Amino acid sequence: MATLVEQAKGNEQGLKIEMTRVIKASKQRVFDAWTRPEFVRQWFGSEVKTCTKAETEPRVGGSYLFAMRGEPCEGVESDAAQVTGRYVKVEPHDLLVFTWRGDWYPAEETLVTVALRDVEGGTELKLTHERFETEASRAAHEQGWTGGLDKMVRLFEGS
């Protein structure tokens, strides 16, 4: 577990992830992919993990839970993992901001922002995940988000 000094250092360093993808779907469909459990289960998780359970309450103060199962990966040694948090900002079809706490490192609470905008060919999705305590945590999450967002792109390309 990180000490308070390490935690402050990590937050001061601005350890974050920023990723952008163009999804071949409307903003409404992409927003639904983040907020409707039946859609979350189709794409959420790294390339080696599958979402087995999704519960969402997409309103300010509402909670969510995503459970995954699959091969252990960097930062998550178990074949099962769970993420929970609360929605901080919900602007339908435009913006989601939520806290993020993985059960593999429950002392670290980070913040995820998903911004959507119309672009030619679909919707631009910009994901920012910030407030990591360590570079190792940031790197592991970057690997997970890369796989998950790639799965979302494939999901909509096939529809």
Over the stretch 34-82, which tens digit does the pLDDT of each residue have?
999 999 999 998 888 899 999 999 999 999 999 999 876 555 556 789 9
Would you list the DSSP string of 24-47?
SS-HHHHHHHHH-HHHHHHH-S-T
pLDDT the model gives residue 2: 38
SS3 of residue 72 by DSSP: coil
Segment 92-106, tens digit of pLDDT: 999 999 999 999 888
Average of per-residue pLDDT across 145-154: 95
pLDDT the model gives residue 112: 98
pTM above 0.75, yes or no: yes
- Which DSSP helix (H) or strand (E) runs through 16? strand 16-23
Average of per-residue pLDDT across 6-29: 79
Average of per-residue pLDDT across 137-149: 94
First to last CA, the chain: 43
- Which DSSP helix (H) or strand (E) runs through 144? helix 135-157
Query: Taking the CB of residue 96, how many other CB atoms lie within 10 A of it?
Result: 22
pLDDT > 70 fraction of the chain, expressed in percent and rounded: 87
Looking only at the bridges linking them, the beta strands covering 80-91 and 16-23 are unpaired
Domain 15-157 has CATH 3.30.530.20: yes
